[in-house]
C-alpha cells in the first residue's frame, strides 16, 4: 500500500474558479453547521475522561450511526455470492474475488482501493498422482482411502473442488506399521515413551485424531518422534458426537464419515511466505530453499473417519486408556501394526509446493484530522473449498461493514483518523497475505496503526459472542457491545447475552464477559506479535460445553451456504450482530478524540498472569536464586503510572490538537512497549513479551511466553546451566518490558532510571 497515493491529486480547476467555489462551499458549510449542530464524540476510556461535545475539527455529522444500517439480508446475499465456487488461494477464483472486492469498495464510496500482489510459496494436490492411504498385504494394495469426499447434495459438487490434503506436506511413499497416538500432542508422545517403551516409533506411521492443537504441531511432534508419516482424521468424539439423535450433514451440523479436514502444516514464528521469512514476497526478494524452512519433512494426509475406522479396527497391540478412546465402533489399540502381520500401511503423497501470486485488497477512507493514524480492519478471503464459515461468513459481513462506511463517506462524513480495509489473501496457508503486508509496510504500520480489528469466521455457531483481545481494547468492546441489540432478543444487548453465556467468572453476579487471549490462528497475529499493534478478534460461536475444537465441518467440502443457512444462522442475525460490533468498534477508534484504550485493564491482566506464572515456578526458581521481586516492582510502577496518566488526561486541553496527539500517541505506543526487537528465545519473529502463541500449540496463547517456554521441561534439559541462564535472561527482559510501558505513560521529560 503506497500511503502517499491517498493524499489526493492536483486540482484540474483554474485557481480563480477554485477559490470562488471554495468560498461558496465554506459559507454553505457554516450554515449547515449552525442548522445541524455539532457532532458528539463518544465517551473516553476509563483510563481517560469524557471528551467534550466536539470532535475538535472533524466534519460535523448528526449522530453518525454504523449500527442500524447494517442489514442482515445484504450479508446473506454476500455470503451466497462468495460461496458459489471454491476459491483456494492462488486460484483464478481467488483473484476474481479480489477484483470484485476492489471494484465493490470503489462503488460503495471508499476513497480508494487497490490490489497488492505477493508471490508466495503455496501447495496443492498433484493433478496426476492422487494422495491416498493404503493397506498392503504382502506388498499388494487391498484398500485405499477415499480420493475425494462424497457428494451428499447436488449443489455441493463443482469441478474446482480440491480433494482433501494437508498443504506443505512432504512428498513420499512411506510404508510401515501403524501406531495410534491420540491427538499427537507432546504429552501423548511422552505417554507412549514413558509407559510403552517397547513401542519403537522410529520408522512407524502415526495415526492421530484432529483437535486440541494445531495440525502443524502434530506433524512436528510425529516427525520428532521418528515417524515416517502422519495420518490425521476427525474422530466422531470431536466432530460427530452421538447425543442419541445424531444427524450428520446434510441432515444435521455434524461431520459425515467421508468428511476430511484440509489445512496447512506450517509451524513457524515468522508465518507468512515460508521462503521469504521477515521480508515481503516481492519479485526482488531473496528466497531460501523450502527444505531449509520449518515445513514438515514427513508426509501428512487427512482422511475421513469412515476410512479411519477400517484402519483402527484392524490394529493390534494393547487397548488404549479411556482418555485416548474416540467414538468409533472399534477397540482402540496402540499398535504397532495390524492383526495380520502380512499387512502394513502405505502413504502415497505427492502434494506439490509451487510459487503463485496471491493478492491483498487494500481499501482506504482518509481521516480528516489525523490522516496518518490508521484504524485497520480486516478479514481473509481465501478458502479451502466453499468456505461458508471460514472465512466467507466474515467476508460477507465485511462487505456490509464497508458498504455502511462507504455510504457515510458519500454523504460527506470523514472520520478523525483514517480507516484501512484489508482483504487478505492466502491466510489458510499460514497468514500469508496479512503477514506479507505487515512485512512490506512494517515501518509505517508500527508508527501509525492505532489498532487492528479482525473477523475471520463471523459465525461458527449460534450460542454467544466470542472475543479475543489485548487488554487495551476491553472497554471499547464492552461499550460497543452494549449498543448492539442481541440477535435473539432485541430488548437486551449483545453484551448482556455475552456476559450471561460466557462469563469471566460464573460465581460472580457482577462479572464481566469473558475475553480470551489472542492466539495466532488468524490475521491479527503479525500486527500484534510482530509490530505491537493492539488487536481484537470477533466472532459468534457454538456452545463451549460441547467440548469440540471447532465447528464440525471445518475445512471440508460440506462447509457450504446450505450448511450456514440451515444449521448455524438461518436469519443471518448473528452475522448482523458481529458486523454491527465490528463497525462500531472501528468507528469508535476512528472518531474518538481520545483513543478508547484502557491502561488499567492492562495492569490488571498482566498482574494476574504473572501471579499464575509465579505460582507455577517460584519454588523452582528460588532454588536457583531467581526472584520475582524486580518484576513485581515494575508491575507496581506500571499501576502507579496508569493511575497518574488518568490525571494527565483529565487535565488535557481538549482543544489543543498537539496535547491530544501527545496523549493518544502515549496510549498507542503502550502495546509497542512490550515488543522486544530480538524476539522470544528461538522465535525471533514473535516479539511480544507479554502475549504470544504457545510453542506447543500455535492456536493457543501463553502469557509471558519467554519465561514459560524457558521453564518448560527444564529438569530434562541436557545443559542445566545454559537453560537456567535463559530463564534469568527472560526474567530480566520481562522486567525491562514492563518498565518500558511505565516510561511510555510518563511525562515526556521523565527519564527516571
CATH code of the domain covering residue 520: 3.40.630.10
Predicted TM-score (pTM) above 0.85: yes
Residue 11 lies in a domain: no
Domain identity same for 86 and 196: no
Q: Which domain holds residue 494?
A: 72-122+362-459+466-591
Using the 3D structure, point to which of 591, 610, 643 is the last residue of a domain.
Answer: 591
Domain identity same for 208 and 254: yes
The answer to whether the CB of 387 falls within 8 A of the CB of 87 is yes
Query: Model confidence over 320-357: pLDDT tens digits?
Result: 999 999 999 999 999 999 999 999 999 999 999 999 99
Q: The CATH number of the domain where 648 resides is what?
A: 1.20.930.40
Task: Tell me what pLDDT residue 63 has.
Answer: 62
pLDDT band at 519 (very low <50, low <70, confident <90, very high): confident
Residue 131 lies in a domain: yes
**Percent above pLDDT 90 for the chain:** 84
Query: What total number of domains does the chain contain?
Result: 3
The single-letter DSSP state of residue 544 is: G
pLDDT band at 98 (very low <50, low <70, confident <90, very high): very high
Query: Model confidence over 99-109: pLDDT tens digits?
Result: 999 999 999 99
Instruction: Indicate if the pLDDT at residue 190 is higher than 80.
Output: yes
Range with lowest mean pLDDT among 376-385, 650-659, 693-702, 721-730: 693-702
Domain identity same for 130 and 114: no
Query: Model confidence over 573-626: pLDDT tens digits?
Result: 999 999 999 999 999 999 999 999 999 999 999 999 999 999 999 999 999 999
Instruction: Indicate if the pLDDT at residue 263 is higher than 90.
Output: yes
Using the 3D structure, point to which of 328, 350, 372 is the last residue of a domain.
Answer: 350
Domain identity same for 579 and 661: no
Residue 44 lies in a domain: no
Residue 88 lies in a domain: yes
Domain identity same for 506 and 389: yes
Instruction: Indicate if the pLDDT at residue 484 is higher than 60.
Output: yes
Count how many residues are written for the chain. Answer: 753
Domain identity same for 278 and 344: yes
Q: The CATH number of the domain where 340 resides is what?
A: 3.50.30.30
Residue 535 CA: distances (Å) to CA of 208, 469, 470, 524: 33, 6, 6, 6
What mean pLDDT value characterizes the chain? 91
Instruction: Indicate if the pLDDT at residue 50 is higher than 80.
Output: no
Query: Model confidence over 229-260: pLDDT tens digits?
Result: 999 999 999 999 987 789 999 999 999 999 99
CA distance 157 to 66: 38
Residue 15 lies in a domain: no
Domain identity same for 143 and 270: yes
Domain identity same for 585 and 614: no
- Find residue 93's DSSP bridge partners: none
Domain identity same for 689 and 661: yes
Task: Tell me what pLDDT residue 385 has.
Answer: 99
Range with lowest mean pLDDT among 22-36, 383-397, 503-517: 22-36
**Percent above pLDDT 70 for the chain:** 90
Domain identity same for 436 and 452: yes
Using the 3D structure, point to which of 574, 591, 608 is the last residue of a domain.
Answer: 591
CA distance 146 to 158: 17
Instruction: Indicate if the pLDDT at residue 732 is higher than 70.
Output: yes
Which of the pair, 384 or 2, is modelled with greater confidence?
Answer: 384
Query: Model confidence over 123-146: pLDDT tens digits?
Result: 999 999 999 999 999 999 999 999
Domain identity same for 528 and 677: no
**Class of residue 302 by CB neighbours under 10 A (exposed 0-12, middle 13-18, buried 19+):** buried
Which of the pair, 546 or 718, is modelled with greater confidence?
Answer: 546
Instruction: Indicate if the pLDDT at residue 121 is higher than 50.
Output: yes
Name the strands in the sheet holding 370-380, side by side, starting at the edge strand that comes first in the sequence: 112-124, 352-365, 417-424, 370-380, 449-454, 535-541, 464-469, 515-516
Domain identity same for 101 and 145: no
Task: Tell me what pLDDT residue 241 has.
Answer: 93
What would the mean pLDDT of 186-197 be, rounded to a whole number? 95
What would the mean pLDDT of 437-452 be, rounded to a whole number? 98
pLDDT band at 3 (very low <50, low <70, confident <90, very high): very low
Residue 57 lies in a domain: no
Instruction: Indicate if the pLDDT at residue 18 is higher than 60.
Output: no
CA 305-306-309 angle, to 5 degrees, is 80
Which of the pair, 62 or 411, is modelled with greater confidence?
Answer: 411
What would the mean pLDDT of 541-561 be, rounded to a whole number? 96
Residue 752 lies in a domain: no
Residue 53 lies in a domain: no
Task: Tell me what pLDDT residue 147 has.
Answer: 97
Task: Tell me what pLDDT residue 750 has.
Answer: 60
**Class of residue 527 by CB neighbours under 10 A (exposed 0-12, middle 13-18, buried 19+):** buried
Task: Tell me what pLDDT residue 47 has.
Answer: 53
Task: Tell me what pLDDT residue 9 has.
Answer: 33
What is the rounded (10 degree) CA torsion for 698, 702, 707, 712? -60
Range with lowest mean pLDDT among 52-66, 512-526, 684-698: 52-66
Amino acid at each position: 500500500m503506497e500511503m502517499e497515493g491517498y493524499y489526493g491529486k492536483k486540482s484540474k480547476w483554474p485557481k480563480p474558479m477554485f477559490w470562488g467555489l471554495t468560498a461558496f462551499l465554506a459559507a454553505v458549510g457554516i450554515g449547515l453547521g449552525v442548522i445541524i449542530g455539532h457532532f458528539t464524540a463518544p465517551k473516553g476510556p476509563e483510563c481517560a475522561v469524557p471528551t467534550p461535545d466536539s470532535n475538535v475539527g472533524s466534519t460535523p455529522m448528526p449522530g453518525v450511526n454504523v449500527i442500524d444500517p447494517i442489514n442482515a439480508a445484504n450479508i446473506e446475499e454476500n455470503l451466497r455470492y462468495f460461496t458459489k465456487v471454491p476459491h483456494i488461494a492462488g486460484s483464478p477464483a481467488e483473484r476474481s474475488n479480489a477484483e470484485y472486492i476492489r471494484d465493490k469498495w470503489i462503488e460503495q464510496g471508499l476513497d480508494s482501493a487497490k490490489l497488492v500482489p505477493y508471490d508466495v510459496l503455496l501447495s496443492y494436490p498433484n493433478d496426476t498422482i492422487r494422495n491416498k492411504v493404503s493397506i498392503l498385504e504382502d506388498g499388494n494394495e487391498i484398500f485405499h482411502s477415499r480420493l475425494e469426499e462424497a457428494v451428499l447434495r447436488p449443489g455441493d459438487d463443482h469441478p474446482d473442488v480440491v480433494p482433501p490434503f494437508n498443504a506443505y506436506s512432504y512428498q513420499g511413499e512411506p510404508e510401515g506399521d501403524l501406531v495410534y497416538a491420540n491427538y499427537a500432542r507432546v504429552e501423548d508422545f511422552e505417554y507412549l515413551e514413558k509407559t510403552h517403551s517397547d513401542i519403537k516409533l522410529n520408522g512407524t506411521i502415526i495415526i492421530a485424531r484432529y483437535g486440541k492443537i494445531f495440525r502443524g504441531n502434530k506433524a512436528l511432534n510425529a516427525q520428532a518422534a521418528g515417524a515416517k508419516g502422519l495420518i490425521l482424521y476427525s474422530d466422531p468424539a470431536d466432530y460427530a458426537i452421538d447425543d442419541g439423535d445424531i444427524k450428520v450433514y446434510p441432515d444435521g451440523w455434524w461431520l459425515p464419515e467421508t468428511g476430511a479436514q484440509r489445512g496447512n502444516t506450517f509451524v513457524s514464528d515468522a508465518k507468512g511466505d515460508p521462503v521469504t521469512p521477515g521480508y515481503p514476497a516481492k519479485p526482488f526478494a531473496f528466497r531460501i530453499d523450502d527444505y531449509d524452512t520449518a515445513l514438515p519433512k514427513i508426509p501428512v494426509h487427512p482422511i475421513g473417519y469412515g476410512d479411519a475406522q477400517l484402519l483402527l479396527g484392524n490394529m493390534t497391540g494393547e487397548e488404549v486408556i479411556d482418555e485416548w478412546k474416540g467414538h468409533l465402533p472399534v477397540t482402540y489399540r496402540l499398535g504397532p501394526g495390524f492383526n495380520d502381520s502380512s499387512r502394513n500401511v502405505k502413504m502415497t503423497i505427492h502434494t506439490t509446493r509451487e510459487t503463485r501470486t496471491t493478492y491483498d485488497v487494500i481499501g482506504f477512507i482518509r481521516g480528516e484530522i489525523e490522516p496518518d493514524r490508521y484504524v485497520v480492519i480486516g478479514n481473509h478471503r481465501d478458502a479451502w473449498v466453499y468456505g461458508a464459515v471460514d472465512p466467507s461468513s466474515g467476508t460477507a459481513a465485511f462487505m456490509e461493514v464497508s458498504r455502511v462506511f462507504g455510504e457515510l463517506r458519500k454523504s460527506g462524513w470523514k472520520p478523525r483518523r483514517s480507516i484501512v480495509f484489508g482483504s487478505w489473501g492466502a491466510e489458510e496457508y499460514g497468514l500469508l497475505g496479512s503477514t506479507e503486508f505487515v512485512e512490506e509496510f512494517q515501518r509505517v504500520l508500527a508508527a501509525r496503526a492505532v489498532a487492528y480489528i479482525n473477523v475471520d469466521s463471523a459465525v461458527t455457531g449460534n450460542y454467544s459472542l466470542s472475543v479475543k483481545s489485548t487488554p487495551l481494547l476491553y472497554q471499547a468492546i464492552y461499550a460497543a457491545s452494549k449498543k448492539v441489540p442481541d440477535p435473539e432478543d432485541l430488548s437486551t444487548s449483545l453484551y448482556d447475552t455475552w456476559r450471561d453465556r460466557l462469563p469471566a467468572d460464573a460465581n460472580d453476579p457482577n462479572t464481566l464477559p469473558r475475553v480470551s487471549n489472542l492466539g495466532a490462528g488468524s490475521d491479527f497475529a503479525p500486527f500484534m506479535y510482530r509490530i505491537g499493534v493492539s488487536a481484537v478478534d470477533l466472532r459468534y460461536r457454538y456452545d463451549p460445553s460441547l467440548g469440540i475444537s471447532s465447528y464440525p465441518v471445518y475445512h471440508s467440502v460440506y462447509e457450504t451456504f446450505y450448511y450456514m443457512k440451515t444449521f448455524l444462522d438461518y436469519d443471518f442475525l448473528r452475522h448482523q450482530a458481529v458486523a454491527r460490533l465490528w463497525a462500531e468498534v472501528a468507528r469508535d477508534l476512528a472518531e474518538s478524540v481520545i483513543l478508547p484504550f484502557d491502561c488499567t485493564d492492562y495492569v490488571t491482566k498482566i498482574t494476574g498472569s504473572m501471579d499464575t506464572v509465579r505460582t507455577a515456578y517460584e519454588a523452582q526458581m528460588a532454588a536457583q536464586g531467581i526472584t520475582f521481586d524486580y518484576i513485581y516492582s515494575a508491575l507496581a510502577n506500571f499501576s502507579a503510572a496508569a493511575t497518574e496518566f488518568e490525571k494527565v488526561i483529565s487535565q488535557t486541553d481538549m482543544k489543543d490538537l498537539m496535547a491530544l496527539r501527545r496523549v493518544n500517541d502515549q496510549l498507542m505506543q503502550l502495546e509497542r512497549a512490550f515488543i522486544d526487537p530480538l524476539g522470544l528465545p528461538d522465535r525471533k519473529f514473535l516479539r511480544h513479551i507479554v502475549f504470544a502463541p504457545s510453542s506447543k500449540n500455535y492456536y493457543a496463547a501463553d502469557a509471558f511466553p519467554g519465561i514459560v517456554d524457558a521453564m518448560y521441561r527444564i529438569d530434562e534439559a541436557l545443559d542445566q546451566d545454559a537453560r537456567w541462564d535463559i530463564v534469568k535472561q527472560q526474567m530480566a527482559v520481562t522486567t525491562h518490558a514492563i518498565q518500558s510501558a511505565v516510561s511510555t505513560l510518563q511525562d515526556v521529560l521523565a527519564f527516571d532510571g
